[in-house]
Amino acid sequence: MTTSMTDHYLENNKRYADGEAIHTSAHPGKQAIQPARRVAVVACMDARLDVEDLLGLQTGDAHIIRNAGGVVSEDAIRSLIISHHLLNTNEIMLIHHTRCGMLAFTDDLLKAGLEGDPAAEKLLAQATGRAFTSCQTSAASPSAFHAFRGPIEPLDAPRDAKNMERLTWDVRRGMSAILNHPWIPTSGTDAVTVRGFVYDVDTGKLEEVNYPGPMGSIG
Ligand SMILES: [Zn+2]
């Protein structure tokens, strides 16, 4: 069993949450193209997550793939395949987080608002506190926004058991997408490991999501 870089970064996260600065922001000089620690991180684009800081990543350590939600979308899979097969990474970390905007809407609601449904426009404006301006037209793409499954809640709502459940479901969904992808090996000599986490934006701490685990139903 080799040493897991993910465990090393989890130790860094504890130090970060206690107020320590681990990430060095200075340019490190010439480096190899392959991530030095062989890690790929998929994380939400949320402005409150500084992935380098919260893991204590140094420049050159890891690939960082970010999008709304930290969703393992087709494009994230594309990046992970390139990251592993061409650039030699072998540990994947998925990071969702508390108070995520993806808890505050549904795909149907956002599409309806963009297409010009007045009720949807009003709900989206209420949820975000921003005047929602419909584009009054349909569009073929994106095919999905990947909002998290479950009843919507106010934007930036504090952590509770229900929204943590929704977050952990989506982390598991992402892990499943990776673990079952035919082009991402998870056994044999070229295996990749995948671990999923929820980051608490109020405390700075990462919490691991067990896998497999419940995908549940909204009670
Ligand atoms: Zn988010």
Domain boundaries, the chain: 103-143, 158-198
pLDDT in tens, 11-26: 999 999 999 999 999 9
Mean pLDDT, residues 161-169 taken together: 97
Q: Which amino acid is at 147?
A: A
CA–centroid distance, residue 32 to ligand 1 (Å): 31
CA–centroid distance, residue 31 to ligand 1 (Å): 31
Of 86, 41, 43, which Cα lies nearest the Cα of 67? 43
pLDDT in tens, 63-109: 999 999 999 999 999 999 999 999 999 999 999 999 999 999 999 99
Angle among Cα 160, 164, 168 to the nearest 5 degrees reads 175
Q: Residue 205: CB partners within 8 Å, gap ≥ 6? A: 13, 14, 17, 199
Q: Is the peptide bond before 118 cis (omega within 30 degrees of 0)?
A: no
pLDDT in tens, 113-139: 999 999 999 999 999 999 999 999 999
CA–centroid distance, residue 1 to ligand 1 (Å): 33
Mean pLDDT, residues 156-178 taken together: 97
List, in sequence order, every beta strand (DSSP E) within the chain: 39-44, 62-67, 91-97, 193-200, 205-209
Q: Are 120 and 109 contacting, i.e. CB atoms less than 8 angstroms apart? A: yes
Q: Which amino acid is at 203?
A: T
CA–centroid distance, residue 166 to ligand 1 (Å): 12
Mean pLDDT, residues 167-193 taken together: 97
Q: pTM higher than 0.85, yes or no? A: yes
Q: Which two tokens stand for residue 52?
A: 């380098």
